[in-house]
Amino acid sequence: MADNESAEMAERGRESAEKRRDLAELYRRKAEEGRGIGETLRGRGENIRMDVEEDRSAAERVRGAQEGGREIAEQARDLSEDLRGAAEDARTAAADARTSLAELKELLQRQRLMIDRQEAALTSMEGKISNIRSSSTNPPGERSNRSSNQDAG
């Protein structure tokens, strides 16, 4: 019986050793899988770090663009104010021009009226002078005949 027991114990020892080898092999495979997973995670981590860096860089570019946009908006506001001022100056100049034109028209009308009066007075004087000449050179009954003769001679 002792041999049986020894054989059984030896068999159990072999089975136990085999189980330990199987477990060791399982642990080794699991460790390799863990290393593979770790390597994958390290690669993913590096990708994430690169993505984060790219995002930071993009955010910096966006901030720069926003600052540029703010500067452009400020320049646009300044330009708009300048244009409003120029428009107001143009309106004032146009109003001044209209006033000057109205004054010139009024002055011109007065001058035309004065010229018309002077022409009327000149015409009247010419008529009187013509009458005076006619009456001084022609006797009352021969007025038209001599006037015709003088024009011919």
pLDDT tier at 49 (50, 70, 90 boundaries)?
very high
Write down the residue that tokens 């946009």 correspond to. 69
Give the global pTM.
0.42
Please report, for the chain, the start and end positions of each structural domain, with discontinuous segments joined by +: 2-98
Which of 5-9, 43-47, 141-145 shows the lowest mean pLDDT across its residues?
141-145
- Cα-based distances in Å from 126 to 33, 122, 133, 137, 139: 132, 6, 10, 16, 21
Q: Residues of the chain with pLDDT > 70: what percent?
A: 89
The answer to whether the CB of 144 falls within 8 A of the CB of 134 is: no
Q: Is 138 exposed, middle or buried (0-12, 13-18, 19+ CB in 10 A)?
A: middle
Q: What is the pLDDT of residues 108-142, one digit of tens each?
A: 999 999 999 999 999 999 999 999 888 877 655 55
pLDDT of residue 153: 45
